[in-house]
Amino acid sequence: MKNQQMHLKIMVPERIITEVDADKIIAEAYNGFFCLKPKHIDFTAALKRGILYYYSNNDEQIIAIDKGILVKCGANVSVSVLNAIRGENLNEIEQQVQVEFSKAQDLEEASVQALKNLEAELVQHFVDLQKKESIL
């Protein structure tokens, strides 16, 4: 690692998305955008859903991130988010995000339907139990 770089690690719950040395990091917190450079003071921010940019040797990289947290401590910057998608450009990331959101929406709809079925079953069991009690 060069003296004038930060060590960036971006993680989602199940894996590390990227671990690189970066010259500059730009992200958005709930109170606005910010830029981190190697000599920036130690810093913590709650991140909004959006795009995180990092630069390594003048090469821009972009990652779509879900909500999370960023912690800069010395030369180490750790980013922990719910979901992240790497891409070569914003158009590619947009397409990938739409696919992922569609999958997430389908899963949510299936979960809601399963919950409704469980609730209906539970109500039916209570009705059956009440009928049995009234017979006795």
CB neighbours (10 Å) of residue 76?
A: 13
Which tokens sit at 104?
Answer: 């997430």
> Are residues 83 and 107 part of one domain?
no
Based on C-alpha coordinates, what's the Rg of the chain? Answer: 23
Q: Mean pLDDT across the chain, nearest whole number?
A: 88
pLDDT of residue 101: 64
> Are residues 69 and 107 part of one domain?
no
- Residue at 1 is within a domain: no
> Are residues 11 and 59 part of one domain?
yes
Question: What separation in angstroms does the CA of 37 have from each of 14, 74, 103, 108?
Answer: 28, 11, 36, 39
Residue 27 has pLDDT above 90, yes or no: yes
Q: Is the dihedral of CA 28, 34, 38, 39 positive or negative?
A: negative
- Residue at 77 is within a domain: yes
Domain that holds residue 12: 6-87
Final residue belonging to a domain, choices 48, 66, 87: 87
Question: What separation in angstroms does the CA of 47 have from each of 30, 33, 68, 83, 126?
Answer: 6, 9, 5, 12, 45
Residue 135 has pLDDT above 90, yes or no: no
Give the chain's domain count: 2
Percent of the chain with pLDDT over 70: 93
> Are residues 103 and 81 part of one domain?
no
